[in-house]
Every structure is written in structure tokens, then in C-alpha cells.
Amino acid sequence: MINPVPLDVLAALDELGIEYSTMGEEAKALCPSPEHDDTTPSWSINLDSGMHHCFSCGYGGSFRRLVADVREDGGGSWSDALLWIQQRKVKDIAEGKVGRKAKPKKYAEITAADLWEFDEEYPIEELEFRGFDGDVAHGFNLLWDQKRDGWIIPFHNADDRLIGYQFKPRHGTDGTPLNHPPHLKKSGRIFDNLGIIDGDLLIIVESPLDVVRLYAMGYDNVVALFGASMDAEQAERIIANFSKVILFFDDDEAGRKGVSRALKLLKGTDVHVFAYAHPLRMGQYYVHTEVSGKDPGDLTKEEVAEGISRATPGFRTGFL
Ligand SMILES: [Zn+2]
């Protein structure tokens, strides 16, 4: 194989010191060509084929080309690049068919060893902004990525096995949350583990850090879906464990769509919807509160308590 591609292209980019953001089948980054002093991310790489291209300067080619050009640890020759890739797990792509979209992608499994590079030195300002302290963060197994400056939020499947983690940039910085591995199936991924929550009532939020924040406010029955879109398997696990649910999604378009979707999936369960102020949208169906923020992270303890106490039965929300 003359043009091998690492099985886990993103992990290889990490090793090469390339900071990227992912979008579908691609990752974007500042152009890694030593010749190009890129200021906006002009370069993208296909995560399947490893082929890459800079729209600004035209640099690009195979993954091997990239390795040969950007390796910082010395041996940046063309033949060493081949060795470097072969020392990692390599994708099974037949020669000459690179770039063809054929097989479902496989990514290296995440293990506890993948978390060793992170620590628990959470920045004070970040803890203050999030509304919980280091002990609580530690209790939820949160870690901090000093290099990329953001949270590492491990997630486990229904059997409590580590299956991946999310990187979430520090508040106020650009960038979007990134999942590792990137195409991890959403199903069954819930933060925190449903099995340890006592009682009948479950509160569901979008973001895992809001679970931690609400815990610090005294709510120990909160889980996060990693986004607003519930899937059928998550719904199944929720229905199996709880008789009453409060949906406390963000007060934006994605959040409202997510509520509609969840209400359909949780049919037959006693579902309430967190009471944000929505006099216009909800008309007579909605209880108007003085809640001012647009997601759990914006609200004070009193506002959270009020919104929860006034949560509206799903069948009356107008979301259905
Ligand atoms: Zn370039």
C-alpha cells in the first residue's frame, strides 16, 4: 500500500499537532503547509480518504504527503512518512480507490489510556462561569485539556463502558464541541448514567455541563442527551426507568424542535416541559415566568426552581 490512510485520521491529526474542527466527513484547519501563513481555516481533509486540500494556496494531496510535510519530530521524509502511517492502524482501502466512498468507517476504540493526557486543573474562571466547583467536576469525572483549553467529558454506554469523550471549548472561545471518536453513534449515550439516579422524576437537559451545574444546585436527577435531538434508544432507556420527565432544553429553535421530537418519542410517559417565558409563542398554553435566560447555564438557582415547579404537561405545551 503506497498511499495508506490511518484508521483514525483525527487521532493522527492530533499527533501531527494540527488543530481542527470537524464537519460531517471533513475536518477543517489552518493550512498546515510550511509555505502558507494561513489566518482563517482554508484547509480541509476528508476523514475517509485522507485526501486534503487548501482552497487558498492549493497545497494538498495524500495523507502521506501531509505527514511528510508537517511532522515536527524530525524524520519528515517521504519514505519515513509511509513508515509513520504504517506504525498506526491503517484503513483498508484498496489502492487506486482512495477517495471512493465505500465502506463504513471504523475508528480506533477509545480506552482509559486516551484520557491520560488530560488533568483536573480546571481554570477558576471557567468553574465560576459554569457554576460548580472542582470537587463536583471531579465527581463527574470531568477533565481539562490544557493544550486545546477546554473540557473533556467522558461518556459511557449503558454497560458503563467508556466509549468516547467530548471536547468542549472554554466558555467565550470560538469552536464547537468535538466528539471522539467523531462518528460515535448517539444511541445509548447519556450523561450521567441513568442507573444511578434514584426516584421517579428525571430532568433532561442538552449539555452535560448543565447536568453538573444543576447537581451543584441540588438536583441529582438530571441527564444530558448531548444535543437537543433525542433518539429512539435514549427514549427507550428513559421510559424504562422513569415515570415522569421534565424536558429542560435550550430556549432556541433547536431546543424547541428537540422538545417536539422528545414528546413524540416519550408518548405514554408523563412528560412536562420546563417553563421559560414564552407568552407569544405559547399563547394561553404556556405559563409565563420571569425566567430571563435561554438555557440552563444562564439561569439562577431561583429561576431553575421556578421553571421546574411550573413545568407544563407535554400535552398542553403546543409543541406537539
Ligand atoms: Zn494553504
Interval between CA 20 and ligand 1 midpoint (Å): 14
Confidence (pLDDT) at 300 = 86
In this prediction, residue 285 carries a pLDDT of: 44
Distance 145 CA to ligand 1 centre (A): 27
Confidence label for 27 from pLDDT (cuts 50, 70 and 90) = very high
- Range 42-50 average pLDDT: 90
The answer to whether residue 130 is domain-embedded is yes
pTM: 0.61
Q: How does residue 273 score in pLDDT terms, banded at 50, 70 and 90?
A: confident
In a domain, 125, yes or no: yes
77 and 126: one domain?
no
For residue 62, being part of any structural domain is answered with yes
Q: What is the 24 CA–ligand 1 centroid distance (Å)?
A: 21
Task: Assess whether pLDDT exceeds 50 at residue 96.
Answer: no
In the chain, the number of structural domains is 3
Q: How far apart are the CA of 278 and the centre of ligand 1, in A?
A: 47
Supply the DSSP symbol for 104. Answer: P
Q: Which of 133, 158, 180 is where one domain is finished?
A: 180
What pLDDT, on a 0 to 100 scale, did the predictor assign at position 270?
86
Looking at the fold, whether 305 and 198 belong to one and the same domain comes out as yes
**What was the pLDDT predicted at 90?**
82
Q: Is residue 305 part of a domain?
A: yes
> Whole-number mean pLDDT of the chain?
80
Q: Is the pLDDT score of 99 beyond 50?
A: no
In a domain, 106, yes or no: no
- In tens, the pLDDT along 178-214 reads 888 776 655 445 665 555 677 788 999 988 889 899 9
Which domain range does residue 12 map to? 4-99
Q: Within this chain, do residues 166 and 231 fall inside the same structural domain, yes or no?
A: no
For residues 85 and 132, membership in a common domain is answered with no
Sheet holding 52-54, edge to edge: 20-23, 26-29, 43-46, 52-54, 60-61
Q: Among the residues of the chain, which ranges form H helices?
A: 9-15, 63-70, 78-86, 124-130, 134-139, 208-216, 232-241, 253-265, 279-282, 301-309
Asked if residue 107 is part of any domain, the answer here is: no
